[in-house]
Structure 1
């Protein structure tokens, strides 16, 4: 796997490796993600209040993350097609094994597509049963302003521009920090046809 030797950044306990994936690996992963989207089309989840999220989403693996008026949860089938989720892309699995070799195999791979104006508010990843397992995030496409706060809501935050090929690991004492994406810098990458950003997030669910 093509990787960079750039130094890891510690953002309030979140480990970020800038440029961890070179362009060839990014494009290989993107091709695998297209197959995922073909099998499990992108959809726009609703919040508990019935508001549509600004990001489009799908998943791969045993479980996919879904949200509607019944709340946030993992399901074994696509909420629109009713079909099981496709397998996690091999390139994503290889990265998980390289970055988190002591972790269990991921059971869910979320694929979030950020187009113009899309963002993700500060939140915790806490719908998983075993919070000792990490969350691994891969950025593809346009730059995204990634914000990290605290375990408790409120207080000071810090931000960092994630670029295409960057990898972030949320683990250990930082596993429950609030984090989100404030905005995407349109046109900062030519990786995706039509622009935008894809965030691939892997995690253990059970």
Structure 2
């Protein structure tokens, strides 16, 4: 296994950087509370594990080699991000003092976060282009894969949970007047922006 400390550093920086997954964890914490947000984070981590697994299979090779397959996956992901952005933009402002924000089931939060991760450019790029550099080709692949991917998912859960925890400290500001409305508008615009960026992205040259 090549340079595990470097892998942890790169994984941490990748997860810490703003992206659709981080934004989803923050908005879940602000809208539904810390515990539901943690369920969503589990969904994000599970989606990440699946992306890593797919990148290690023939599908990963197909996406790397086929322009058509890459384009189809790219536009599906972009459309989903834009859909989430419009949905968040139109959502009512968070209200702490009443029950206007409808509760969400843990299953729906998990599933939404799980599938959203498949449209996360950070995760896709990391596991298709960066992750393979940390695999030692002279050693057994499976143990290295399991250790590295589980490490990444554990880091993701801890970092996103920290984001969600600190979001709770700012919840009261977001819940009054323009604060909650601007949070939804900024979040929605960001999702739409990520979707448009993904739609315009090009596959790296082989």
- TM-score > 0.5 by shorter chain: no
Q: Which has the higher contact order (CA 8 A, sep 6+)?
A: 2
* Structure with the largest fraction of strand: 1
TM-score by length of 1: 0.25
Structure whose CA Rg is larger? 2
TM-score of the superposed pair, with normalisation by structure 2: 0.25
